[in-house]
Amino acid sequence: MAEEATEKTRREQIDRQAMPQQDPKVRAKNFDEVPLGYSPETAVKEAERCLQCRNPACVTGCPVGVDIPGFIHHIKEGEFTEAIRNLWGKNSLPAVCGRVCPQEIQCEQKCILAKKGDSVAIGNLERFAADYEREHGSGALPPKAEATGRRVAVIGSGPAGLTVAGDLILKGHEVTVFEAFHKPGGVLIYGIPEFRLPKAIVAQEVNFLERLGVKVVCDQVVQRTVMIDELFEEGYEAVFIGVGAGLPTFLDVPGKNLIGIYSANEYLTRANLMKAYRFPEYDTPIIRGKNVVTLGAGNVAMDSARTALRLGADSSRIVYRRSRAEVPARIEEVHHAEEEGVEFHFLAAPTRFIGNERGRVVGMECERMCLGEPDESGRCRPVPVEGAEFELECDLVIVAVGAGANPLLTKATPGLKLNKRGYVVADEKTGKTTKKGVWAGGDIVTGSATVILAMGAGRIAADSIHDYLTWGW
Amino acid sequence: MFKLVARKEMSAGTVILNEIEAPLIARKAKPGQFVILKANETGERIPLTMADSDPEKGTITVIYQVVGKSTALFKTLQVGDGYQDVIGPLGRPTHIEKVGKVVCVGGGTGTAVMYPITRGLKEIGNHVIAIIGARTKDLLILEDEMRAASHELHVCTDDGSYGHHGFVTEVLGRVLGEEDIKLVVAIGPVPMMKAVSKVTKEYGVPTLVSLNPIMVDGTGMCGGCRVTVGGETKFACVDGPEFDGHLVDYDELTLRLQGYREDEEHCYNEFCVSAA
């Protein structure tokens, strides 16, 4: 008993292990990862902090239900292989989640230690386990169920699609993922920058699925190159639509089409997928502004503003129409952005973009806002303040104010019910759409959200697809 | 890998024809649609409207002018080599219907894109008058093909080295004055499409043009190809590439096409130097 008490005290006295990271001034000039990862010793020490609760609240905060105390226990024991196997039981992309999940509002927020101090660094530990396996692991694969001979088509190789593929391949089904781009990963590859999620890691996560037997075919735009009904004719019995939101929103103000005004999608796709940050080694160019303004304050806006710094901006500003309290981005991303020198201008919105005689943006006129009554999203509606206009000089504007539903597939698929805003209507509990044999999940159903929520939707749909293949619709 | 099965050099090597093995695309491609091509790992994604497609052979054909690094790179591909990525068919197909007498105007390499549409309009029963033009005789392409695809063909050169000495708009003006034309389709450099639309507007003849803005993804997710048509923002890759010629903001398109001028010149010069 005394031994237990001593052990408990010793554990409680361990501080949350800090994640080593690149110095802000240095990292604002390179595309290397900001957090450097735990060493095995640090990971074990952090894992000791976990109280191994009998009724772990952290698990309830995880959209895919990872057995958090389970994998952490293995790390504590130095059983790193067992840790990753435990993780793979619930999460097929742990290297991704360990990096991009907003743990601070999910598992870590629920951690019992968070009540009085710092939570267990669950995200850092997940990342450690995945990275260790990638760098030192044997390459052995988790076991698959017996082959069922049933075929599933997954449309979109983003987080939702990859999760469906990973779940169903382990259950013994044949899975083919159809990707429109020339490389798989969806937002993981075009949206999230290299310095938050290295593309080599995404490639390895996809490769893991391929080694399990998932076929990934790129350059296939479903409802253009190949049709959903053809897939059924070819013998696929279930189709999952995970095509993402993918329709950029622009602000309808004068000058919106000046050269140097990008949607965040275009800016990030050039930088991340087409590697324009390595131009001219890579052929795709990108405008490298000196005075950059990013409109919006979500994660995508943070990614854009931080990328602009790395591409040589002298100043990178966020202009947001609400206040700091309403900022939707992950706290950690806002924090990293500010450390690197991104400036925040709150309660401001553009009324006009100003261009020069060559059609390039040189500035924007803004109005000041104040917060009025809440709108349908529950957030205070910004209201312009009369007579408080001002001008900002800028040569690059990135519009990161949200994305809508890309209609390329949805509008071309009869029988697939869409809501008023063009998102696919899917049952919350199963992911089933109104078209028989077709499921959907992720941003194309919910609107822009997060990687982990898309994965959660993928998990739900995969379970439902498996039931369908086993028992029927 | 999308293999090259045939290759032809035209216009003193400045215009190249590539027939590419892409069976899935060939099966679905319709006139007016385009593909996105990427030569290799570091290459750009660029759009080219298809000049032809053969569903039985499983091939598509593109014809492009060498204007920068990417097209210069494509030119180096020989039969048996391949493009790393070809994506399509993208864009809305041309709406082809029988309306009576139509005029198809092709400028420069725009004639390559005009060709399948001209053929389609003739096949459905329209009386097709084709007008093709180029700066000089050497830059004229597909003359025989366009003659076969139309009922009458007029050829123009800016310098008078072949055919009518003058712009396509001069011949067009004459035809519009003499015939009851129900539709004009014009594909070529932006100034040409703008000029054609100006002429047809005076005669009140519906006009379609095929726009060529800079593109990255081609599936409507980035907005890089946005154009203003009738005061509204449209994406050329999913709403077009064809639009009502009388409503297009050509001046804005012309400016936006210059967006990467310096980078493009730098890359092209470097490529030419290293190739030499």
Cβ neighbors of B210 (< 8 A, separation 6 or more) are B32, B49, B110, B113, B187, B193, B240, B241, B242
Predicted confidence (pLDDT) at residue A5 exceeds the cutoff of 90: no
Instruction: Say if domain A2-136 classifies as CATH 1.10.1060.10.
Output: yes
Average pLDDT in the A420-428 region?
96
* pLDDT computed for residue A1 by the predictor: 64
Q: Is A248 at the interface with chain B, CB within 8 A?
A: yes
Q: Nearest C-alpha of chain A: how many angstroms from B147?
A: 31
Which residue, among A3, A80, A11, has the nearest Cα to A50 in the 3D structure? A11
Give the H or E element holding residue B82.
strand B82-83
| Assigned architecture for domain A250-401 | 3-Layer(bba) Sandwich (3.50)
Q: Max Cα separation, chain A?
A: 81
* CB B88, CB B35: distance < 8 Å: yes
Average pLDDT in the B162-184 region?
96
For chain B, what is the mean pLDDT?
96
Residue B10 pLDDT level (bands cut at 50, 70, 90)? very high
A269 contacts B222? CB cut-off 8 A = yes
A257 contacts B233? CB cut-off 8 A = yes
A/B interface, count of CB pairs below 8 Å: 106
Show residues of chain B in contact with A280, CB under 8 Å: 263, 266-267, 270
* pLDDT computed for residue A265 by the predictor: 97
* pLDDT computed for residue A140 by the predictor: 86
For chain A, what is the mean pLDDT?
95
Find which of B25, B83, B221 to mutate to test the A interface (most A CBs within 10 Å of its CB): B221
Task: List the single residue in A224, A262, A270 with the smallest CB-CB distance to B88.
Answer: A224
Residue B82 pLDDT level (bands cut at 50, 70, 90)? very high
* pLDDT computed for residue A374 by the predictor: 87
Show residues of chain B in contact with A284, CB under 8 Å: 44-45, 216
Cβ neighbors of A118 (< 8 A, separation 6 or more) are A15, A16
Give the H or E element holding residue B115.
helix B110-123
Say what percent of chain B tops pLDDT 90. 97
How do residues A347-368 score in pLDDT, each as one tens digit? 999 999 999 999 999 999 999 9
Separation CA A63–CA A80 (nearest Å):
23
Q: Is A312 at the interface with chain B, CB within 8 A?
A: no
Question: At which residue do the structure tokens 């190789």 appear?
Answer: A157
Separation CA A179–CA B87 (nearest Å):
11
Predicted confidence (pLDDT) at residue A247 exceeds the cutoff of 80: yes
Predicted confidence (pLDDT) at residue A101 exceeds the cutoff of 80: yes
* pLDDT computed for residue B39 by the predictor: 97
Which residue, among A317, A331, A266, A269, has the nearest Cα to A289 in the 3D structure? A317
Instruction: Indicate whether this complex's ipTM tops 0.85.
Output: yes
Predicted confidence (pLDDT) at residue B159 exceeds the cutoff of 70: yes
Find which of A219, A279, A360 to mutate to test the B interface (most B CBs within 10 Å of its CB): A219
Lowest mean pLDDT among A2-11, A317-326, A428-437, B157-166: A2-11
* pLDDT computed for residue B248 by the predictor: 98
Question: At which residue do the structure tokens 């509002």 appear?
Answer: A105
Q: Is A284 at the interface with chain B, CB within 8 A?
A: yes
Predicted confidence (pLDDT) at residue A375 exceeds the cutoff of 90: no
Predicted confidence (pLDDT) at residue A31 exceeds the cutoff of 70: yes
Separation CA B273–CA B263 (nearest Å):
15
Residue spans per domain, chain A: 2-136, 151-246+404-471, 250-401
Tell me whether the CATH fold assigned to A2-136 matches the one assigned to A250-401: no
Q: Is B138 at the interface with chain A, CB within 8 A?
A: no
How do residues A106-160 score in pLDDT, each as one tens digit? 999 999 999 999 999 999 999 999 999 999 988 889 889 999 999 999 999 999 9
Considering only the top CATH level, what class is A151-246+404-471? alpha beta
How do residues A192-214 score in pLDDT, each as one tens digit? 999 999 999 999 999 999 999 99
